[in-house]
Structure 1
Amino acid sequence: MPLEAAISSGRLDRASEPVLVVGAGLTAADAVLAAHHLNTPVYHTFRRPVSDPALIFNQLPKLLYPEYHKVHQMMSQQQYKVGETVVNLSNHFPKHHVAAFRRDGKCVLEDEGGIQTVLQVSMALILIGAHPNLLFLPEHG
């Protein structure tokens, strides 16, 4: 079910388990913004550090793209740290990848040091572009 349909049907709202957005491009940013504007909690994970110059947000003029600058700002300021309770409407996981999806609705994220974080999610949007790592899918996608 697409994000917009899940939100408009009432399947997702502020009381729902968070939506997981995977990716660091503009489509992923659009999904983060859509969830954020409708007060739907979101987890956002991506493989690169926020400061990576190749990250599209670091290449866009702030004045021309304020909405994407807002996502970049959230990516910088609302980062999950190991051991913390996840309480923000949006929580960002830089330098993480999806290790697995479990049948119980949980997603396992793994950081570059191998530390895993298990999150309960309502749905996942995999928006990962041209060079995806699909190891988390059965038979690697």
Structure 2
Amino acid sequence: MLAIGCDHGGYELKKEILAWLDSKNIEYRDFGCHSTEAVNYPVYAKAVAEAVVSGECEKGILVCGTGIGISIAANKVHGIRAALCSDCFSAEATRLHNDANVLALGGRVVGAGLAIKIVETFLNTPFSEEQRHKDRIAMIED
């Protein structure tokens, strides 16, 4: 199951992602927000990050206006490796090399079509399991 969350700046893109997830029968838990009314992104970043770290959800997707703030907030939770991606190459590389467990997107940066391709790439790319990448991740976790 995926955890997904956003702030007001990411709400419209989150709706597009949810529709795509529904069309692919991918299970998710929506941690909010649920409108374009201004909210504080750290609340939603923390909720998604904690769901991933606890094992309730396998991976997470976060969306704010730029993706920057929400990714910074998620990365404050120990065990989270949130990656802000605006292209498919980065989404693939962060899964292969960093075993990223949360994808962050900018709702005011990427359009829905590209965002869906980034999400699909992120979800379908496995971690490489190469020792050099495991060693680097261990260094981050210390």
TM, length-normalised to structure 2: 0.30
Relative to its length, the structure with more helix (as a share) is 2
Relative to its length, the structure with more strand (as a share) is 1
